[in-house]
Structure 1
Amino acid sequence: MSKNLEHQFVTELENNQNIVHKVCTLYTHDRESHNDLFQEITIQLWKAYPKFRGEAKFSTWMYRVALNTAITLYRKSKKKVKTQDFDSVLFKIKAQEYDDTEEQQLKLMYNAIKELGDIEKALVFLYLEDKNYAEIAETLGISEVNARVKMNRVKNKLRTILNP
């Protein structure tokens, strides 16, 4: 891979890494698992980047890769994340420490979201990221109408979880 492509990737990843951190927060329960999943998503993004055609925004593509990686690993390992060796990748990313204390107000919501199914989690995550239903549908590979229907069902489910 060319140095220019590598530089573009690192820049995009550094600018959008909070997307990956948020996905990791939804699919993990401790700091070590969070870091492992972040690493695995980064590896999958790196492997897939040469195929990124720019037809969608980088962030939309990143959401899709991150969510698919998290869901796949979650299903395979039953909440225990297996990672690949990261030493083979030559670049270094300036990691920003993810400060989850800023999100203490969202703790109850995150716990409720963690009780949802994999696709429901992805749907809520994209909704909370202010994605419109067309973008949600594109990212998840479903119709816009289906995204709306599923979101209404998830909202009701979250209300039930938060207000038993």
Structure 2
Amino acid sequence: MHNQGLQDAFIGLVDTNRGILYKICRMYGATEPDRQDLFQEIVIQLWRSYPAFRGDSKFSTWLYRIALNTAISDLRKQRRHITTINPDSLPTQLQDIQYNSEKEEQLQSLYAAISRLTEVEKALTMLYLEDKSYVEMEEILGIPQNNLRVKMNRIKEKLRKMTKEAVYGVGNT
């Protein structure tokens, strides 16, 4: 059983980094229920892994790694089954993510283009948009910096093309 101090520290760190979870859930969840499910699955995985967090890296780096791996694994499985966990063992003070519909509309076109990227491209794009350095990206994704730079340039070009297609229509560029 986890002690109250461990639970309080976990809740504080997750609340501080809630924006990261929001972005990952928005990036990998197609619908609102999918995002809520993914958020819960990520929190469960973070909670299970938290006692082993040694602090060798920043908490946000560790959180990104766990959350992205959970999101990508969930997509790859493409299965919808109910996983049970004893709810008494989870922190109860965390609230589900609330989405702002106005901001949602503003980001819709960006996410539409990003949604057409591969799982790894999505993760790299999100980290790039978060102004993470290539050193941090390498630590989170486990991909060498040189490869990350090449991938990012290709992704930018891909997104430019997709954005033009969305604005001008396919074939009118």
TM-score scaled by structure 1? Answer: 0.91
Q: Is the 8 A contact 1:73 1:82 kept in 2?
A: no
Cα shift at 1:53: 0.9
Map of 1:65 onto structure 2: 66
CA RMSD in angstroms comes to 1.7
- Aligned mates of 2:110, 2:57 — CA distance in 1: 29
Q: Is the 8 A contact 2:113 2:163 kept in 1?
A: yes
Shift in CA distance, 118/163, structure 1 to aligned 2, threshold 3 Å: same
Q: Is the 8 A contact 2:47 2:90 kept in 1?
A: no
Q: Is the 8 A contact 1:112 1:158 kept in 2?
A: yes
Map of 1:132 onto structure 2: 133
Amino acid at match of 1:156: E
Residue 88 (structure 2) pairs with residue 92 (structure 1): no
The residue correspondences of 1:83-162 to structure 2 (distance < 5 A) are 83-85=83-85, 87-95=87-95, 97-162=98-163
- Aligned mates of 1:100, 1:146 — CA distance in 2: 36
Q: Is the 8 A contact 1:73 1:81 kept in 2?
A: no
Cα shift at 1:146: 1.1
Is there any run of 5+ residues in structure 1 with no aligned partner, and where?
none
Cα shift at 1:128: 0.5
Deviation track 1:36-77 (CA, whole Å, cap 9, x = no partner) reads 000000000000101111111111111111100000001101
| Moved >3 Å (runs of 4+) | 80-86
Is there any run of 5+ residues in structure 2 with no aligned partner, and where?
166-173
Q: Is the 8 A contact 1:19 1:63 kept in 2?
A: yes
> Whose Rg is larger?
2
Map of 1:9 onto structure 2: 10
Q: Is the 8 A contact 1:137 1:143 kept in 2?
A: yes
Deviation track 1:4-63 (CA, whole Å, cap 9, x = no partner) reads 111110110111112111101111111111110000000000001011111111111111
- Aligned mates of 1:45, 1:20 — CA distance in 2: 11
SS at structure 2 position matched to 1:130: coil
TM-score scaled by structure 2? Answer: 0.87
Cα shift at 1:102: 1.7
- Aligned mates of 2:136, 2:36 — CA distance in 1: 27
